Amino acid sequence: MVNHFVQEFKRKYKKDLTSNKRAVRRLRTSCERAKRTLSSSTQASIEIDSLFEGIDFYTSITRARFEELNADLFRSTMDPVEKSLRDAKMDKAQIHDIVLVGGSTRIPKVQKLLQDFFNGKELNKSINPDEAVAYGAAVQA
């Protein structure tokens, strides 16, 4: 998403902000905020005053565009799932419960890919994805 907006800035203002680490960091922070917003809304705004050389950068992104930009990345999230099943010598039909772990599992597209992979099986969302690993470690101890 950051690269997308760097290119948009370049198109709109004919300036490359990648030479300014502070500008890139501010853009990355705004993109992170937008990503979180897109988990619950279909559109997010990015508004950064004086991003680069005094230029204010105001733009928005839809969830559909976000998913399109990250399609390869989202698809690659299934690789560790498939590898885990292979390593455990299990078939996906043998899985009883799917517990989401990590902040990125809040992204609707990631949830849909997982649900589709497991043939529509309902995902367990009762555990906070950020705390799931700690719960597992506590159970293991």
Domain boundary pick from 36, 69, 102: 69
**Is the pLDDT reported for residue 132 higher than 80?**
no
pTM of the predicted model, to two decimals?
A: 0.82
Could you list the residue range(s) of the whole structural domain that residue 62 is in? 2-69
**What percent of the chain stands above pLDDT 90?**
81
Roughly how many angstroms between the first and final C-alpha of the chain, as a whole number? Answer: 39
Which residues, other chains included, contact 79 with Cβ-Cβ below 8 Å and sequence gap of 6+? none
- pLDDT, tens digit, 9 for 90 and up, residues 107-116: 999 999 999 9
Integer Cα distance of 49 and 25 in angstroms: 14
**Angle of the 78-87 helix axis to the 108-117 helix axis, nearest 10:** 30
Shared domain check, 54 and 78:
no
The CATH number covering residue 115 comes to 3.30.420.40
Considering its fold, how many domains does the chain have in total? 2
In this structure, are 52 and 101 located in the same domain? no
**Residues 64 and 78 reside in one and the same domain:** no
pLDDT digits (tens, 9 = 90+) for 10-68: 999 999 999 999 999 999 999 999 999 999 999 999 999 999 999 999 999 999 999 99
